[in-house]
Amino acid sequence: MHPLHFGSLLWPSNNKKIVQYPTLSGDAERCDVLIVGGGLTGTLIAHKLTEAGLSVALVEENGIGSGSSSASTGLLQYSNDIMLSDLASQLGEDRAILFYQECKHAVERLCQLAARLPQDVGFKRRSSLYYASSAQDVPKLRSEYEMLCKNGFSVDWLDEAKIKADFPFAKPAALVTSGDGELDPYHFAVRLAEQAADRGLRIFERTSLVSVEGTKGDLLCHTTGGTVRAQAIVYAVGYRPETACCSAIDVKLARTYAIATRPVPSLAEWHQRWLLWETARPYLYARTTTEGRVIIGGFDEDMRTPVELQHQLRAISLRLLDEAKALFPRLPLELEYEWNATFGESNDNLPWIGEDPERPGHYLALGYGGNGAVYSMLASDIILDELQDRPNPLSSIVGLRNRKTGLPT
């Protein structure tokens, strides 16, 4: 059983041809940067660093994309789990707006990258409908709408009547953000890795990092298959933070559920096939796929490991299916794929990206939160800047320095 997910995953079930990479065997691979982890984060960083001309190796314990990237539902949204207005209270308005703007740019770049890949990765541009789960949430959603508008984000306000006109369900109000997207995150990671490998990335699957010795500029990285000498190491290990060995990070691990239905003949009543999510926490979210399936996810539970029994999974899958039917009662929705997976968040709702101040040469790329893919993209820019000694405006927000750890001091 995979430690991060349980059930039948949608994306890897699609029988597309996938390149297999060797296991590391022997010593003395030498490179500028060793990336640990071949999920969406590791492959995006590898893609960026090889494009910049660095010599890069990547080790992945299982197969490329097989971690939580294969369980992700692939929504690309710049609006964060934490609203801009709440982030402004946490960081100050200027820094919060900068962070949101950078997330928006990251979505744009993810969309461009996905659209330019020669293979199909199920990518489509979409808007997102963010609806108030209850009437009490309307004033907060309205002030979020006003703050986004004031700061130049393209956003619309829908009242109850307008939502009813566009959708078969009733909600008290919603905001609509444009410029978001959807894709198949597993095949996206796989294709990014292939493209980076064509540019010289050396990939070793079924190879785990075990320990690291040495100092920045000359790190000796021990793996299960041999050693790699690197000037720097990047931990893109997803919800396996123990590999990064960094005491400063404060991670909340939970588990979350998702299902995908069989393709339906028509999704015409799903207005422009917008991505759907809501103000309740934890929230439900839903999207469609290029094959005409409906994906719906949510019902997070405060447990660090996935369920282990099929009947436990099925009970929640049926509740998710009921939620999808409540939104779209006329769609003939039938369950086909169902899965449960580990999911991570940080206590301050921000990812951990950048060099560990206590271990020069060791970089973290841990994009915890609902916008994990967007954070992975941010990580690729920030880490390249830091490796090349260029300042990045986000380093002081998502870096490790001066972050509250939540750990006892």
Ligand X SMILES: Cc1cc2nc3c(=O)[nH]c(=O)nc-3n(C[C@H](O)[C@H](O)[C@H](O)COP(=O)(O)OP(=O)(O)OC[C@H]3O[C@@H](n4cnc5c(N)ncnc54)[C@H](O)[C@@H]3O)c2cc1C
Site string for ligand X, 325-344 (x = CB under 6 A): ----------------x-x-
Q: How far apart are the first and last CA of the chain?
A: 37
Helix (H, G, I), strand (E, B) or coil at 344: strand
Q: How many CB atoms lie within 10 A of CB 25?
A: 9
Residue of 7, 12, 74, 399 interacting with ligand X (CB under 6 A): 74
> Please, what is the minimum distance in Å from the beta carbon of residue 303 to ligand X?
13
Given a contact cutoff of 8 angstroms between Cβ atoms, the answer to whether 222 and 29 are in contact is: no
Q: Which is nearer to ligand X, 142 or 243 (CB)?
A: 243
Using CB under 6 A as the binding rule, whether residue 212 contacts ligand X is answered as no
Q: Which is nearer to ligand X, 172 or 282 (CB)?
A: 282
The residue to which tokens 């979409």 are assigned:
126
Peptide bond into 357 cis (omega under 30): no
Residue of 297, 298, 354, 399 interacting with ligand X (CB under 6 A): 297
Q: Which is nearer to ligand X, 173 or 297 (CB)?
A: 297
Using CB under 6 A as the binding rule, whether residue 73 contacts ligand X is answered as yes
Distance, in Å, from the CA atom of 212 to the CA atom of 222, rounded to the nearest integer, reads 6
| Site size for ligand X (CB under 6 A) | 41
Stretch (H or E) spanning 319: helix 310-327
> Please, what is the minimum distance in Å from the beta carbon of residue 382 to ligand X?
14
Using CB under 6 A as the binding rule, whether residue 373 contacts ligand X is answered as yes
Write the burial class of residue 17 (CB in 10 Å: 0-12 exposed, 13-18 middle, 19+ buried): exposed
Residue of 121, 236, 313, 400 interacting with ligand X (CB under 6 A): 236
Query: What part of residues 348-367 is at the interface with ligand X (CB under 6 A)?
Result: 367
Which of the stretches 133-141, 226-234, 238-246, 276-284 binds ligand X when contact is defined by CB under 6 A?
Answer: 238-246
Q: Which is nearer to ligand X, 181 or 399 (CB)?
A: 181
Q: Which is nearer to ligand X, 40 or 148 (CB)?
A: 40
Helix (H, G, I), strand (E, B) or coil at 325: helix
Helix (H, G, I), strand (E, B) or coil at 375: helix
Using CB under 6 A as the binding rule, whether residue 23 contacts ligand X is answered as no
Using CB under 6 A as the binding rule, whether residue 69 contacts ligand X is answered as yes
* Phi/psi at 137 (5° precision): -85, -5
Residue of 48, 171, 187, 240 interacting with ligand X (CB under 6 A): 240
> Please, what is the minimum distance in Å from the beta carbon of residue 210 to ligand X?
7
Q: Which is nearer to ligand X, 68 or 195 (CB)?
A: 68
Nearest 5 degrees, angle CA 381-CA 407-CA 101? 30
Q: Tell me the torsion sign for CA atoms 94, 144, 252, 179.
A: negative
Distance, in Å, from the CA atom of 175 to the CA atom of 177, rounded to the nearest integer, reads 7
Residue of 208, 347, 396, 405 interacting with ligand X (CB under 6 A): 208
Which of the stretches 24-32, 65-73, 95-103, 388-396 binds ligand X when contact is defined by CB under 6 A?
Answer: 65-73
Using CB under 6 A as the binding rule, whether residue 36 contacts ligand X is answered as yes
DSSP 187-237: HHHHHHHHHHHHTT-EEESS--EEEEEEETTEEEEEESS-EEEEEEEEE--
Q: Which is nearer to ligand X, 109 or 142 (CB)?
A: 109
Residue of 11, 21, 31, 38 interacting with ligand X (CB under 6 A): 38
Alpha-helical (H) ranges within 328-403 are: 372-387, 395-398
Which of the stretches 80-88, 236-244, 330-338, 383-391 binds ligand X when contact is defined by CB under 6 A?
Answer: 236-244
> Please, what is the minimum distance in Å from the beta carbon of residue 155 to ligand X?
19
Q: Which is nearer to ligand X, 29 or 60 (CB)?
A: 60
Residue of 7, 12, 185, 354 interacting with ligand X (CB under 6 A): 185
Given a contact cutoff of 8 angstroms between Cβ atoms, the answer to whether 351 and 369 are in contact is: yes
> Distance between alpha carbon 409 and the CA centroid of its chain, in Å?
30
Residue of 9, 31, 56, 75 interacting with ligand X (CB under 6 A): 75
Question: How many angstroms separate the Cα of 241 from the Cα of each of 13, 37, 57, 248, 359?
Answer: 27, 11, 20, 11, 16
Residue of 50, 72, 79, 127 interacting with ligand X (CB under 6 A): 72
Residues in contact with ligand X by CB under 6 A are: 4, 36-42, 59-62, 66-69, 71-75, 185, 208-209, 236-240, 243, 256, 258, 297, 341, 343, 367, 371-374, 376
